[in-house]
Chains A and B, each alone.
Chain A
Amino acid sequence: GENVEQHPSTLSVQEGDSAVIKCTYSDSASNYFPWYKQELGKGPQLIIDIRSNVGEKKDQRIAVTLNKTAKHFSLHITETQPEDSAVYFCAASTDRDDKIIFGKGTRLHILP
C-alpha cells in the first residue's frame, strides 16, 4: 500500500522567511496530494491540494510542487507570519481508494 514520508519533523523559521516541507510517496497510482494544517486543539484543515495532472499550484503565500517521476511533492510558504505556526501534514490518495494516507507531520515554528 501507499506510504508517505515527510520531513523535517520540526522546522523553525524566522518570521518573514520562507518554509519548505518535503514529502515522498511510494504508490505511483497516487494522483491527489492534499496538504493539511493542524492548529492546537483543532482538526486538520485543508489548505491546498494538487492533482497529478499539474506540476505546481499557488494560492497567495502558499505553493505546492509535484514531481511525479521522483514521487516528491513539497509545500512552500513564503513571507511566513506568526499565524503560520502549526503542524502541517502532507497526504496522498488514489482514484481507487477512499482513504487519504498521511505523512507524520511537520511542526512549524515561526520565530519573532
Chain B
Amino acid sequence: EPEVTQTPSHQVTQMGQEVILRCVPISNHLYFYWYRQILGQKVEFLVSFYNNEISEKSEIFDDQFSVERPDGSNFTLKIRSTKLEDSAMYFCASSWTRDRAPYEQYFGPGTRLTVT
C-alpha cells in the first residue's frame, strides 16, 4: 500500500541553525501539507501546497518557514533559523484530489525536531 515517507525520523539542531525536513508524498497525489504536533498538544496545520505554490498557510507559518517541491517526488519544509519553540513532531501529508472536497489526507510517520 502506498504511503507517505519522511526523513529523518529525528533531527537535533542548535538554536539559530537551518533545518530541512524531507517528505516523499504518495506518488499520484497532488496536494501536500505540513502539520506539527508539540508534545502533548494538538496536531496543528502549517501549510498546504498545490501546483508548485502555497495554497493556504496558518499564522504559525511565518517568514522563518518555507516549502518547496524541488523535483517530482520530494516535498520539503525549511526552517531558516530554528527557535526552541520549534521543537515538535512535524508531519507531512498528501491527498490526491479536491474534486470531492474535503478530501482524505494521508500522513507520514513524522520527523521529531529537537532544538537545543
Contact = CB atoms under 8 A, between A and B. Distances in A.
Interface stretch (B65-73, B78-86, B107-115): B107-115
Interface string A65-102: 00000000000000000000000010001110111111
A98 B55 contact: yes
Contacts of A102: 42-44
B31 interface: yes
A96 to B, nearest CB: 9
A42 B109 contact: yes
Q: Is the interface of A mostly helix, strand, loop or mixed?
A: loop
Contact of A44 (B41, B43, B102, B103): B43
Contacts of A97: 56, 102
A95 B58 CA distance: 17
A51 B103 CA distance: 10
B33 interface: yes
A72 B95 CA distance: 26
Given A98-B33, A99-B56, A103-B42, A46 B106 contact: yes
B4 A43 contact: yes
B48 A45 contact: no
Given A41-B109, A43-B107, A45-B107, A104 B41 contact: yes
Contacts of B33: 98-99
B104 interface: yes
Contacts of B43: 44, 89, 102
B102 A104 contact: no
Interface of A: 31-32, 34, 36, 41-46, 49, 51, 89, 93-95, 97-105
Interface of B: 4, 6, 31, 33, 41-45, 48, 55-56, 58, 91, 101-110
26 contacts: A31-B102, A32-B102, A32-B103, A36-B107, A41-B109, A42-B109, A42-B110, A43-B6, A43-B91, A44-B43, A45-B107, A46-B105, A46-B107, A49-B104, A51-B102, A93-B102, A95-B101, A97-B102, A98-B55, A98-B56, A99-B33, A99-B58, A100-B45, A102-B42, A102-B44, A104-B42
